[in-house]
Amino acid sequence: MPKLYEYFGLISAAGAHHEEIEVIPSVINVVAAEVVGELKLRVQFDDGTEQTIDFKTFLSTALHPDIRAWSFPERCAEYRIEHGELVWGDYELCFPVMDLYRNRITPDPALEAAA
C-alpha cells in the first residue's frame, strides 16, 4: 500500500526518498471527555488520540472574570461536546480543537514576547 506522501507526488520519478512528516488530519473532532482531576479533563479525539488537559493555569490566570468563573472544579465539570468541540455554557468558554489536540491551551511566553 503506498504511503500518504506517495499519493501526493512527493516522490520524484527518479525514486528519490523524502523524509516522512507527521500528517494531522485537517478536521479533528472531540468525541469524548471525562473529568480526571481538579480542573483536568481527559479528551479523546476522533483519530484515537487522547490528551489529559490541565485547565488550572489557564483559568486561574485569566484576567476576564467571565473566564475565571469556570475555575471552580464543579463549574469546570459542566462542559459538553457540541459539533466536535468542547464547550462550556453558551460558548462562554471554548478552545480551538487543535489547541486541545496539541495540549497547548496556554500562550507560549516566547511567542508572546516576539509579538
Chunked mean pLDDT (size 10), the chain, 115 residues: 48 55 75 96 97 96 93 96 96 95 84 64
- Quick one: pLDDT at residue 57? 93
Q: Is residue 89 part of a domain?
A: yes
Q: Is residue 91 part of a domain?
A: yes
Q: How many domains in the chain?
A: 1
What CATH number has the domain bearing residue 64? Answer: 3.30.2020.10
- Quick one: pLDDT at residue 32? 98
Residue with cell 467571565: 66
- Quick one: pLDDT at residue 15? 53
- Quick one: pLDDT at residue 5? 47
Range of the domain at 92: 30-114
Q: Is residue 86 part of a domain?
A: yes
Q: Is residue 20 part of a domain?
A: no
Distance CA 66, CA 47 (A): 32
- Quick one: pLDDT at residue 107? 75
- pTM of the predicted model as reported, rounded to 2 decimal places: 0.72
